[in-house]
């Protein structure tokens, strides 16, 4: 592990320690697990469907991320600004990328932990039918990529916010739009070019192929590039002092 990687991991560890000492973390973990289970067994009436598919289960993840990710990311930069520790971080031997990646890796680690904690539900259902393990793997891979892109966006919005409340509300609104804007072409007749553009910017639209057990290279590239773009914009917000 080189010096740069050690710096990033040290920053990520610091952020994870902060998460671990916050009751909010445990609240969102419990909320995520309960919401996903209630969504599957009560709202989606899973057993009444009599189908060996977990697509209804993973359909809850975009909704969960809209509510959970703003909680994870709202204080990442807005809190640094409120406490006045932003200037201290910038005077330390860390680049903007070190700071951004450290905070991003910490929030992504929390999301990974939440996803791992949801695994018992599929495991408990597998003996009841012929489930395709490859499809379940694709669904989890898509959920991770979806969460990574949404988390990168949340951190960027926190860097532009003056306080945690503004970061939270802004992230909820923006994530709600970019997550479910693909509903518009499904409900309103519009030119194919406009519909394609709206679908392109929708995170949920690119998650659909993964939920079907398909790894589409276009959707994979979208999630990777969108995550990289939001992280880059985060560094630019730091570089140009928009968050001070």
Could you read off the pLDDT of 197-220 as tens digits, one per residue? 999 999 999 999 999 888 999 999
What is the rounded CA–CA span in Å between residue 229 and residue 152?
8
Chain segment 159-183, per-residue pLDDT in tens: 888 888 889 999 999 999 999 999 9
The answer to whether residues 234 and 227 touch, using CB atoms and an 8 Å cutoff, is no
The whole-angstrom separation of Cα 202 and Cα 196 is 10
Q: Please state, in angstroms and rounded to a whole number, the distance separating the CA atoms of residues 101 and 120.
A: 30
In whole angstroms, what is the distance from residue 175 CA to residue 46 CA?
Answer: 27
- Closest among 132, 163, 188, 128 to 243, alpha carbons compared: 163
Mean pLDDT of the chain: 89
Cα dist from 132 to 36, 38, 48, 93, 195, whole Å: 20, 23, 20, 48, 32
Query: What's the pTM?
Result: 0.91
Exposure string for 39-61, b = 16+ CB within 10 A, e = fewer? bbeeebebeeeeeebbebbbbbb
């Amino acid at each position: 592990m080189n010096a740069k990687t050690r710096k990033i991991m040290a920053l990520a560890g610091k952020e994870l320690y902060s998460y671990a000492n916050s009751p909010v973390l445990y609240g969102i973990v419990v909320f995520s697990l309960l919401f996903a289970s209630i969504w599957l067994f009560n709202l989606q009436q899973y057993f009444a469907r009599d189908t060996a598919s977990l697509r209804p289960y993973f359909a809850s993840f975009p909704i969960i991320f809209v509510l959970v990710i703003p909680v994870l990311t709202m204080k990442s930069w807005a809190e640094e600004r409120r406490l006045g520790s932003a200037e201290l971080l910038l005077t330390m031997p860390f680049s903007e990328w070190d700071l951004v990646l450290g905070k991003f890796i910490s929030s992504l680690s929390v999301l990974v932990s939440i996803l791992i904690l949801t695994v018992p539900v599929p495991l408990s259902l597998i003996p009841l039918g012929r489930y395709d393990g490859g499809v379940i793997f694709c669904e989890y891979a898509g959920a991770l990529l979806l969460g990574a892109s949404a988390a990168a966006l949340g951190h960027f919005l926190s860097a532009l916010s003056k306080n945690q409340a503004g970061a939270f509300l802004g992230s909820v609104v923006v994530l709600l739009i970019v997550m479910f804007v693909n509903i518009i072409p499904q409900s309103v007749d519009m030119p194919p070019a406009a519909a394609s553009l709206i679908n392109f910017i929708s995170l949920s639209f690119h998650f659909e192929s993964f939920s079907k057990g398909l790894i589409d290279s276009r959707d994979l590239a979208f999630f990777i590039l969108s995550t990289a773009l939001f992280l880059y914009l985060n560094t630019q917000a730091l570089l140009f002092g928009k968050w001070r």
